[in-house]
Amino acid sequence: MSLKLVRLDDRLIHGQVVVGWGNAVAADRILLIDDDVAANDWERELYAMGVPPEMEVAFATVDDCVDALEQSVNSKQRTIVLVGDVNTLVRVCDATDVVKRVNIGGIHEGDGRAKRLAYVFLTDEEVQALKKLEEKGIEVTARDVPTTKPIPLEDFA
């Protein structure tokens, strides 16, 4: 399987993902799934600028993600999938069964969100949504950088 990492991180493409995780999983490609970014030429160009030339970047809406994810699974390219919010993650996981593990990176403060870890703030509804993913058999852990140990959802939910 060439789907190396599915990461929930509200910063989407940034140095920690490209350098830290990209090197750790030897990624050839990033697939960013976000309806707003996929629909905006300027945002796609901005995010693509943060990716080194030897790494491919692709963008998809949630509606288009099934084909893009299946291509990633069957490809020789080692792919990192990025989503920026819990709702998008749930929609992606509802659309396809190729996601087996989710890494929660940075989810920052916001309305109704409580601090769960130094880098993870979630509402109670977001926690429940992540628990439902686990009930479907998807492993959910938090891990900000690849050199740290994954933290199971039950330890911060």
**Tokens matching residue 89:** 């993650």
pLDDT at 75: 85
pLDDT in tens, 46-99: 999 999 999 999 999 999 998 889 888 888 899 999 999 999 999 999 999 999
pLDDT at 67: 87
- Tell me if residue 137 falls in helix, strand or coil: coil
Element (H, E) at 90: helix 86-95
Residues 46, 31: Cα–Cα separation, whole Å: 15
Q: Look-up: residue for tokens 């490209």?
A: 18
- The rounded mean pLDDT for the chain is 95
pLDDT at 85: 97
Q: What is the mean pLDDT of residues 93-114?
A: 95
pLDDT at 71: 84
- Give the distance from CA 124 to its chain's centroid: 20
The single-letter DSSP state of residue 124 is H
Q: What is the mean pLDDT of residues 111-132?
A: 97
Residues 116, 120: Cα–Cα separation, whole Å: 5
Query: What are the structural domains, with CATH classification, of the chain?
Result: 3-155 (3.40.35.10)
pLDDT at 1: 55
Does pLDDT of 8 surpass 60?
yes
